[in-house]
Amino acid sequence: MKVTTENEKLTSVKCAGLISKPKDTSLVELYLIIKQALLKHQVELLVDENSAKNLKCKGVPFDDMCQKSDFLISLGGDGTLISLSRRSFYYDKPILGIYAGQLGFLTDIKSENIDDFLDKFFTGNYRIDERMMLEISLHVEDKTVKLVAFNDAVFVRDNITTMSTVEAFVEGQMINSYRGDGLIVSTPTGSTAYNISAGGPVVYPLTQALILTPICPHSLTQRPLVLPVDFEIEFKSEDDVQIVIDGQDRYRMRDFDKVTVKIATRSAKLIHSLERNYFEVLKTKLNWGNL
């Protein structure tokens, strides 16, 4: 496997869609820089109607924006990009992350580099990384609610004064019974999020794998587990357990008969500069190699 992949690039770019960090009115100047840089290449910029309120511009409904755009832009931080990846999942559009603030694990284009990067982008000097996502199915009677996660699905106790037990099965066979504060099911991209804080492994983001990491387990012998990507894992619990999707959506496990997690049918497509180096990001964010 190569450190980076050379996936197909966009054949035609006439329109881009943008969402910004919610309730942040300080991004107007960055939005205008992006808009002007795109106009230079005769590309129309559509803005999600909720973001438009903060950016003081005309907006369009989110679904219309996704349908009409050739690629999407996330203006904010990693959380904004994760939300956009989930909301636009079924439109299968590549996403460019432009960060406002500190360098994130996912967003790598600085405000001062927008013009330079877009000049390279429109001459084909970029890459599109495909990041595995999770499909979470909530089953109750004859109904199924399907959700997608970019980073993780977390099974966490609802009552801080008691422990919870979450049982995991594959093809009817129990893998483990996790007793403690909960369990994280992470993608490789999400391995540097909640997973790493709970003692889970850092997994290269282009890897295909499911990562199970117990949260403060009752038994010290419980350890993180990396499983093949073609597994579908079923989870059950009789305790007060909540399912938290990417830290953004929350469901009570008791409201469903069972919960299953597997690889999603599509990947998130992230647009990056050719100079982006994941190991350099790790060294910067995690302070590796510094005494």
Active-site residues: which are they? 78
Q: What is the spatial distance between Cα 20 and Cα 50, in angstroms, rounded to a whole number?
A: 9
Please work out, in degrees rounded to the nearest 5, the angle formed at the alpha carbon of residue 113 by the alpha carbons of 129 and 49.
75
In residues, how long is the chain?
Answer: 291
Token representation of residue 205:
């983001």
Token representation of residue 173:
């066979």
Token representation of residue 78:
């990693």
Q: What is the spatial distance between Cα 60 and Cα 100, in angstroms, rounded to a whole number?
A: 23
Q: 82: buried, middle or exposed (CB in 10 Å: 19+, 13-18, 0-12)? A: buried
Partnered with residue 165 across adjacent β-strands are 179
Residue 286 has phi, psi (to 5 degrees) of: -100, 0
Give the residue ranges of DSSP H helices in 99-254.
114-121, 194-197
Q: What is the DSSP letter of 60?
A: B
